[in-house]
Amino acid sequence: MWQGRFSGKPDKLMQEFGQSVSFDQRLWKEDIQGSLAYAAELQRIGILTEKELADIQTGFVTITKEIESGKFQWKVELEDVHMNIESRLTELIGDAGKKLHTGRSRNDQVATDFKLWCIRVAKTELKAAAVALVRALVERASENVDVIIPAYTHLQRAMPTRLAHHLNAYVDMIFSDSRVFFRHGSADAQGRVPLGSGAATGNSFPVDMHVLAKSLGRSMPDHNSMAAVSDRDFALDLVFACAKCMTHLSRIAEDLILWSTAEFGFITLGDAVTTGSSIMPQKRNPDACELVRGKTGRVVGHLMSLFTLLKGLPMTYNRDLQEDKEAVFDATDQTLACLRVMALVFSKENFKVNRERIQQHLDSGAGYMEAMNVADWLVLQGVPFRDGHDITGRLVKYVEQKKMRFADLTAADLAAVDARLKPELLKELSLEALVERKQVYAGTAKARVLERLAELKSWLGNNEQGAMNHEQ
Ligand code: ARG
């Protein structure tokens, strides 16, 4: 494609080293989409005849079929997806194929293709996988509204919560990521597109950049051709969203790993998402969750790779930028796989809640989660919170020294600690009572949790019909 100026061929090693077609062939759809838009514009300004445009369109129909059926011959000597597709077009339709690159450069071409690819994957696959995970979480939460578990801070029992409230927390974490996925798509609908910017300094032919942008479903062309061809912020944004999502998934995975230990035993994970041990027949290992946790490092690593790739890069396009793709592709692939696997983990078959075991934990009285109730009750009796805290602290010490549970306390015990601890307090000491005290918005009271679940279900319903509320 540039051979005119050269007398020698690239070294074989250099060919292998420089090729990107082995991975950037994933951009083929967007490459054809961009080329079709560009060809139409070349025809409008008189560079291509109507017949040539029609030939290009027919050529791309054939190429699409060849690629989809796996018959397309990708050639390493043609370096990348762009040159492979253009060369095949020329093979198929002759000179019209050679005219397609008029005024265009692979620099605006790759920036366009890659940006469109990132937007498509975020808006379609990542969004769908995130929604499916939310759906599984909402289903499990709905089934477990009455299950009370300890909530932890510092990994110490803090206060009781509803399992449903805990699972709804995961939903909020996923929303925080998927909001980026969704917004990546929607904000970019007003977003700009580099096509037509040429190698770096704009197009010598009078293409209408606004028409080009519109025909690719974007509202505007980039303001500046130099910024346009060197910009990879869209890739950073997508990989950031993936890294954030993976960070959240790793925290969720870690909870499940802990919960499925013999020590916790809150849940049993199904056969489909666990493995046995080749040496210890009794084992059920939470591999799906561990792999999700492990892959997080890899995806966060891709974000660092991209930042490092872009740091200090001189204007404008530099071949270094070819290194952006594998980071983005792998970050996307891994995130997608992890979202899907976590939805499987949270399916009815695989996420089994061990209610009796949880109840045993609660009945043990360990962690004295009832204590907070005592302090709150004292406040309602007019005792200043700091004094209430102190009295409650002494009560915990008493219970601890006597090796008893809060549930075993009698009126005499209370009086022995402090006169302000009246017998009426005893009936306030259940964990249900404590969970129900949190009646405020975002709290653990059953009514609040059910409200949130209703909101989420309606969101999921709307989402099924395609009406997405991004600000959920
Ligand atoms: N394969 C290249 C990339 O991904 C395409 C752009 C090459 N441009 C160039 N002037 N060599 O970045």
Cβ–ligand 1 distance for 328 under 6 Å, the answer: no
In this structure, is residue 212 part of a structural domain? no
With 0-12 CB in 10 A as exposed, 13-18 as middle and 19+ as buried, what is 40? middle
Cβ–ligand 1 distance for 339 under 6 Å, the answer: no
Six-digit token string for 236: 């950073």
Indicate which residues carry an active-site annotation.
154, 277
The structure tokens 């969004």 sit at 127
Write out pLDDT tens, residues 408-425: 999 999 999 999 999 999
The alpha carbon of 320 and the centre of ligand 1 are apart by a number of angstroms equal to 9
Write out pLDDT tens, residues 123-153: 899 999 999 999 999 999 999 999 999 999 9
Q: Are 146 and 281 contained in the same domain?
A: yes
pLDDT band with cut points at 50, 70 and 90 for residue 8: confident
The alpha carbon of 83 and the centre of ligand 1 are apart by a number of angstroms equal to 10
Predicted TM-score of the model (pTM): 0.93
Q: Are 327 and 391 contained in the same domain?
A: no
What is the average pLDDT value for the chain, to the nearest integer?
93
Question: Residue 472 carries which DSSP code?
Answer: -
Cβ–ligand 1 distance for 80 under 6 Å, the answer: yes
Which ligand 1 atom lies nearest to the CA of residue 199?
10
In this structure, is residue 93 part of a structural domain? yes
Last residue of a domain, one of 326, 355, 384: 355
In this structure, is residue 464 part of a structural domain? no
Which ligand 1 atom lies nearest to the CA of residue 325?
4
Q: Are 375 and 351 contained in the same domain?
A: no
In this structure, is residue 437 part of a structural domain? no
Q: How far apart are CA 289 and CA 95, in angstroms?
A: 55
DSSP track, 125-152: IIHHHHHHHHHHHHHHHHHTTT-EEEEE
Cβ–ligand 1 distance for 316 under 6 Å, the answer: no
Q: Are 351 and 375 contained in the same domain?
A: no
Last residue of a domain, one of 44, 76, 102: 102
Mutational test site, ligand 1, from 26, 27, 75, 80, max ligand atoms within 8 Å of CB: 80
Q: Are 348 and 379 contained in the same domain?
A: no
CATH code of the domain containing 419: 1.10.40.30
Q: Which of 78, 83, 77, 71 is nearest to 28 (CA)?
A: 83
Decide if pLDDT at 184 tops 60. Answer: no
In this structure, is residue 205 part of a structural domain? no
Mutational test site, ligand 1, from 82, 86, 110, max ligand atoms within 8 Å of CB: 110
Q: Are 155 and 265 contained in the same domain?
A: yes
Cβ–ligand 1 distance for 322 under 6 Å, the answer: yes
Last residue of a domain, one of 102, 129, 146: 102
In this structure, is residue 217 part of a structural domain? no
Average pLDDT over residues 302-324: 98
* Pair 321, 309: CB distance under 8 Å: yes
With 0-12 CB in 10 A as exposed, 13-18 as middle and 19+ as buried, what is 288? buried
Write out pLDDT tens, residues 362-387: 999 899 999 988 999 999 999 999 99
CATH code of the domain containing 272: 1.20.200.10
pLDDT band with cut points at 50, 70 and 90 for residue 463: confident
Cβ–ligand 1 distance for 20 under 6 Å, the answer: yes
* Pair 365, 405: CB distance under 8 Å: yes
In this structure, is residue 210 part of a structural domain? no
CATH code of the domain containing 46: 1.10.275.10
In this structure, is residue 300 part of a structural domain? yes
Q: Where are the alpha helices (DSSP H) in 188-232?
A: 209-215, 225-230
Six-digit token string for 406: 């809060």
Q: Are 303 and 346 contained in the same domain?
A: yes
Cβ–ligand 1 distance for 321 under 6 Å, the answer: yes
Decide if pLDDT at 245 tops 50. Answer: yes
Cβ–ligand 1 distance for 112 under 6 Å, the answer: no
Q: Are 23 and 140 contained in the same domain?
A: no
Into how many domains does the chain fold?
3
* Pair 100, 1: CB distance under 8 Å: no
Q: Which of 162, 20, 139, 124 is nearest to 77 (CA)?
A: 20
Residue-range definition of the domain harbouring residue 69: 12-102
Q: Give, in order, the Cα–Cα distances in Å from 185 to each of 181, 182, 195, 449, 470.
A: 7, 5, 18, 30, 11
Q: Are 245 and 377 contained in the same domain?
A: no
Decide if pLDDT at 188 tops 50. Answer: yes
Mutational test site, ligand 1, from 87, 322, 329, max ligand atoms within 8 Å of CB: 322
Q: Are 257 and 136 contained in the same domain?
A: yes
Average pLDDT over residues 80-85: 98
Average pLDDT over residues 80-108: 97
Q: Are 81 and 138 contained in the same domain?
A: no
Write out pLDDT tens, residues 45-61: 999 999 999 999 999 99
Quick one: pLDDT at residue 353? 98
Quick one: pLDDT at residue 472? 44
Quick one: pLDDT at residue 179? 67
Q: Which residue's C-alpha comes closest to atom 12 of ligand 1?
A: 322
Q: Are 382 and 321 contained in the same domain?
A: no
pLDDT band with cut points at 50, 70 and 90 for residue 16: very high
